[in-house]
């Protein structure tokens, strides 16, 4: 049976997490119940020496909430010979909305029409081509923060004028996307080790359905289309453990919005109850990796 300490051997597991939330507590409990030793590594206190390979871990689960720290930690650990889940490349791709979109499009995964303007002025021109209403989103971010609905050109000019005054050059790039006329919900699918664990509908106020912002979840039937799209999306970004966000248009066609490399699953778990234990599946996947 996977997950027993005897099969684990001498593998040393690190869990990268500067913030321990409900999901991390579920994971820690799953490790403890299975008798699997692990070490929580607070990335705020972690440093790496270039060229050093004698780190005290063989395998790392990256649960770092800060995207920059998550990406650099994954890269440093990989360079030191540690097997990191998710990989450094998947963390970087999933953490950047444009890179995610490019990867999904290259794999033929259906997504909303999306453009990137390299300046606020170019973004306005892109929006004239894309059409209104539209959404503008930060390249890096989660929980739907700073996602703004642009109803018309006047509204876009106001938002982009503000963006042009921000000091960071990344803030001057415009990631804009067509606004899908969805039926008041989206779908969150969790995939671990190439297997779809389940799906839930998420509903919330206005644009954002994130559970962290008060969104509500209920079970969603996992259809063949949901399975196919979710697995294709995860493969496109190279992730082992991920949350795939799907959206339905008014014709019922499914589109992939994004793939989350640090998937939060408390709302998903609450909706599905005893049908699935996400933390247990993640531990199973790590133990399988450790035995390779």
Say yes or no: 174 and 190 in one domain. no
On whether both 86 and 153 belong to a single domain, the answer is no
**Angstrom distances, CA of residue 71 to CA of 59, 76, 96, 167:** 16, 9, 11, 23
- Residue ending a domain, among 39, 66, 94, is 94
Whether 117 is in a domain gets the answer yes
Q: Write out the two tokens for 214.
A: 């008060």
Q: Is 30 among the domain residues?
A: yes
Residue with tokens 């050109």: 153
Query: Of 94, 122, 143, which closes a domain?
Result: 94
Determine the Cα–Cα distance for residues 261 and 91; give it in Å rounded to an integer: 6
197 is a domain residue: yes
Q: Look at residues 63, 94, 125 and tell me which one is the last residue of a structural domain.
A: 94
Identify whether the C-beta of residue 186 lies closer than 8 Å to the C-beta of residue 246. yes
**Sign of torsion, CA 171 175 176 180?**
negative
CATH (domain of 128) = 3.30.1490.20
Note the pLDDT of residue 206. 59
**Cα 255 from Cα 246, distance rounded (Å):** 6
For residue 167, the model assigns a pLDDT of 87
Q: What is the pLDDT of residue 141?
A: 78
Per residue in 161-208, pLDDT (tens digit) is 998 898 888 889 999 999 998 888 999 999 999 999 999 999 876 555
* CB-CB contact of 231 with 191 (8 Å): yes
Domain-embedded: residue 174? yes
Q: Is residue 227 part of a domain?
A: yes
Tell whether 291 is covered by a domain.
no
The whole domain housing 118 covers 113-178
85 plus 160 within the same structural domain: no
Report pLDDT for 214: 52
Dihedral sign from CA coordinates of 226, 227, 228, 232: positive
| DSSP per position, 2-38 | TT-HHHHTT--EEEE-SS--HHHHHHHHHHHHHT---
Q: Are residues 9 and 90 in the same domain?
A: yes
Task: Please tell me whether residues 168 and 198 are part of one structural domain.
Answer: no
Residue 51 covered by a domain? yes
Q: Which residues of the chain register pLDDT less than 70?
A: 1-9, 142-143, 205-215
Q: Which of 197, 186, 221 is nearest to 284 (CA)?
A: 197
């Amino acid at each position: 049976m996977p997950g027993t300490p005897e099969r684990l051997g001498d593998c040393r597991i690190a869990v990268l997490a500067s913030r321990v939330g409900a999901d991390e507590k579920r994971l820690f409990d799953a490790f403890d119940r299975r008798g699997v030793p692990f070490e929580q590594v607070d990335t705020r206190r972690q440093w790496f020496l270039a060229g050093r390979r004698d780190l005290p871990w063989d395998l790392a689960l990256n649960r770092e909430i800060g995207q920059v720290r998550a990406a650099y930690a994954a890269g440093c650990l990989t360079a030191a010979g540690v097997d990191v889940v998710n990989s450094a490349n998947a963390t970087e791709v999933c953490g950047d909305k444009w890179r995610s979109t490019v990867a999904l499009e290259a794999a033929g995964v259906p997504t909303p029409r999306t453009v990137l303007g390299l300046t606020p002025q170019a973004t306005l021109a892109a929006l004239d081509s894309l059409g209104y209403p539209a959404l503008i989103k930060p390249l890096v971010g989660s929980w739907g923060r700073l996602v703004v609905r642009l109803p018309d050109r006047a509204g876009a000019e106001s938002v982009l004028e503000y963006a042009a005054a921000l000091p960071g050059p990344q803030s001057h790039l415009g990631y804009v996307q067509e606004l899908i006329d969805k039926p008041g919900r989206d779908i969150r699918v969790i995939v671990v080790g190439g297997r779809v664990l389940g799906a839930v509908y998420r509903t919330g106020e206005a644009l954002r359905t994130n559970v962290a912002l008060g969104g509500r979840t209920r079970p969603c039937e996992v259809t063949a289309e949901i399975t196919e799209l979710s697995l294709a999306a995860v493969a496109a970004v190279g992730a082992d453990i991920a949350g795939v966000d799907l959206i339905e248009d008014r014709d019922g066609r499914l589109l992939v919005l994004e793939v989350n490399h640090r998937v939060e699953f408390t709302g998903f778990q609450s909706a599905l109850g005893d049908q699935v234990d996400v933390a247990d599946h993640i531990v199973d996947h790590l133990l399988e990796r450790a035995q390779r």
